[in-house]
Amino acid sequence: MVRIHPSILSADFVNLERDLERIASADGVHLDVMDAHFVPNLTFGLPMVQRIAEVTSLPIDVHLMIDDPDTWALQYAIDGVDSVTFHAEATRDAVALARELRARGARAAIALKPGTAVDDVLEHLREFDMVLVMTVEPGFGGQSFMPEMMPKLQELRGRADELGIELALQVDGGITADTLPIAAAAGADVFVAGSAVYGHADPAERTHALRLAAAP
Ligand code: DX5
Ligand code: ZN
């Protein structure tokens, strides 16, 4: 099943409730938490995530681009947050953190920057509900999709199928109606899109267009 998760990074932060309503037909909302250390950009933290959880009925997908998720990630496993994604490059013990997140009732997801290989994740695939393959360098919206990440998706999907496990495979960065089918063909099923949704006059229509691109 294909899922479309608009990222509010490109939304209007002063009119966020309105912009959340505009993506009501999406399958989830992607929240990019950045700390200006792990990535060279700063967004928002837990108070914003808590407040968004109060006003939206969409499942929330938190993408933590922060140092030391081992200390901070569990705080995000609140009511309304469906999955918490931390970066492989930032964590000391990905398996331990994933287990703690699941114990708190959140889906556990691990993200890979473009330069990070899949090998370590492949070894522990059962520990994660979702793997996020970044298709840009994390930190900013509006960058170009990196098709050279597709073999990572193919490997992850292949191993998940071998193991017979249900694994969500998310892509984030440069997803448009043109690039989405490329990632879908490689095995992705959760598509994050920021500028392709909120960089246009009608985010509801853009959300619909992405869904059509996934299942023409
Ligand atoms: C970038 C963020 C993305 C961002 C994607 O580091 O993780 O979620 O919003 O933006 P687009 O879709 O514009 O590439
Ligand atoms: Zn993201």
Is the CB of residue 172 less than 8 Å from the CB of residue 135?
A: yes
pLDDT at 166 (0 to 100): 95
Distance 20 CA to ligand 2 centre (A): 16
Domain count, the chain: 1
Strand partners, 111: 87, 132
Would you say the pTM of this structure is higher than 0.90? yes
Catalytic residue among 32, 61, 82, 189: 32
Q: Over 90: is that where the pLDDT of 216 sits?
A: no
* pLDDT tens by residue, 69-92: 999 999 999 999 999 999 999 999
Q: Is 141 annotated as a binding residue?
A: yes
Handedness of CA 58, 64, 68, 70 (dihedral sign): positive
Q: How far is CA 61 from CA 119, 123, 175, in A?
A: 24, 24, 16
* CATH number for the domain that contains residue 28: 3.20.20.70
Q: Is 38 annotated as a binding residue?
A: no
Range of the domain at 51: 3-214
Distance 193 CA to ligand 1 centre (A): 6
Whether 161 sits among the annotated catalytic residues: the reply is no
* pLDDT tens by residue, 120-177: 999 999 999 999 999 999 999 999 999 999 999 999 999 999 999 999 999 999 999 9
pLDDT at 43 (0 to 100): 98
- HSE of 53, CA atoms in CB hemisphere, 13 A: 17
